[in-house]
Amino acid sequence: MHQVTVGIGPLTRDEIVAVARNGAAVALSAEAEAEICRSRTVVEALAADAEPHYGVSTGFGALATRHIPVELRGDLQRSLVRSHAAGSGPEVEREVVRALMLLRLRTLATGRTGVRLETARAYAAVLGAGITPMVREYGSLGCSGDLAPLAQCALAVMGEGRVRDARGVPRPAAEALAVAGIEPIVLAEKEGLALINGTDGMLGMLVLACHDLRRVLRAADVAAAMSVEALLGTDAVFAADLQALHPHPGQADAAANLRALLAGSAIMDSHRGPECTRVQDAYSLRCAPQVHGAARDTVEHAELVASRELASAIDNPVITPDGRVESNGNFHGAPLGYVLDFLAIAAADVASISERRADRFLDVARSHGLPAFLADDPGVDSGHMIAQYTAAAIVSELKRLATPASVDSIPSSAMQEDHVSMGWSAGRELRRAVDGLTRVVAIELLTAARGLDLRRPLAPAPATAAVRDGLRAAVAGPGPDRHLDPEIDAAVAYVASGGAVAAAESVTGPLR
């Protein structure tokens, strides 16, 4: 996808990922341009009105009672952006900034904000040129939207502040715009407010997280299947009729994946029949579909919320389709904050059950015949002992990140904004949680692959064998202790890139 057209309707998840992560260019549709021009006439009529109108001829927030004379209204908009570009801390990732700018442009394209056409086109041009404003980690309370991050983007389009160019080199915004042939915008009535009053940062982080979680949860099914197999577990509990007694759709999908991944396993066949004395497995093996499935259903709910937000036009005040200018509270990020927190909880729990499965491989009392810590020469070698420490440390961190940010409202703006969503903070935590989950699943996969190798001459299922073999292209099989950092990194890349799932699907067909 080389270019995404922004119209008056919602963008898709794939379009957002294409622009945010893959650098696709952006263009406005003719319908969007017409709607932008139509609503701008409303703002210009209000600007000439003797009556004060919020965002057009008044101050903002707790200062909204001051009527601003015509000759100061350009200063008002520029001062708004400059004063609100007050972030601090590390730079926010390029993909988050691009998602934020794209989603703000999408709201501008609805015609509900009253900006000029040249302002919307400037946002499209900056995205197309690969220019990324330097947005800082801290500054948004999630109400009135993501003010500081959006203001830092607006400041750059004004030709102020600093950006990274298409090569990632930091430079002054004015210089980067000039090189790209983009004229800095000079804000007119209401435009500063329209550019900063949105929930676009938290929404962008939600869309990207849902995209990544879909892939990681399938990889978690792959790792779980390898663990069940290498730990001589049973697949009987994954039977469709048993799963149907608890009819959650995510659980059904996870169980179906486990059945497909374990089909044809000689390791599984080796301990079937009446001579097998094991009645049931530990919860981390037996309940994988229930936990992975609940996480899937949480993603499904989060994507429903995201779809509603993507169909929204967030601004205050807003230009209604019949030409009214109305104040509102749609910028409050509560719907986003809740599901961002909910996903962080799900990520922490899936990581927790994954780490417990990996840990079982290392204990001779629970691994059913595997060497201690999967070591080549236990005592001389430590095997995967400390890989489990790493997974445990990450899981502990994810539990802390799962503490909901959305319940931690803190008042601001002289108590005018006395209840806020903290949705931006929830999004920042979720990004770290998705990364941590990916790493824990990768460590389980790395450990389970070694367990499968140690079951030789018994052969794993064709699907799990394909996953193991794909990993072996970068990570050697069992042997004396080696430097584990590079092997963990290779496994993380294998999971994060979708390579592990693709290897499994080369046998099973598409996983659910």
Catalytic residue positions, numbered = 54
The helix (run of H) or strand (run of E) holding residue 352 is: helix 334-360
State the virtual CA torsion across 229, 232, 233, 234 in degrees, nearest 10: 90
Q: Are 297 and 250 in contact (CB under 8 A)?
A: yes
φ/ψ region of 383 (left if φ > 0, alpha if ψ in -120 to 50, else beta) reads left
State phi, psi for 302 to the nearest 5 degrees.
-60, -40
Q: Are 107 and 201 in contact (CB under 8 A)?
A: no
Q: 3-6 and 25-28: which strand pairing?
A: parallel
Q: How many CB atoms lie within 10 A of CB 456?
A: 11
Closest CA to 360 of 229, 238, 187, 261: 229
DSSP string, 5-73: EE-SSPPPHHHHHHHHTT--EEEE-HHHHHHHHHHHHHHHHHHT-SS--TTTTB--GGGTTPBPPGGGH
Q: Are 7 and 310 in contact (CB under 8 A)?
A: no
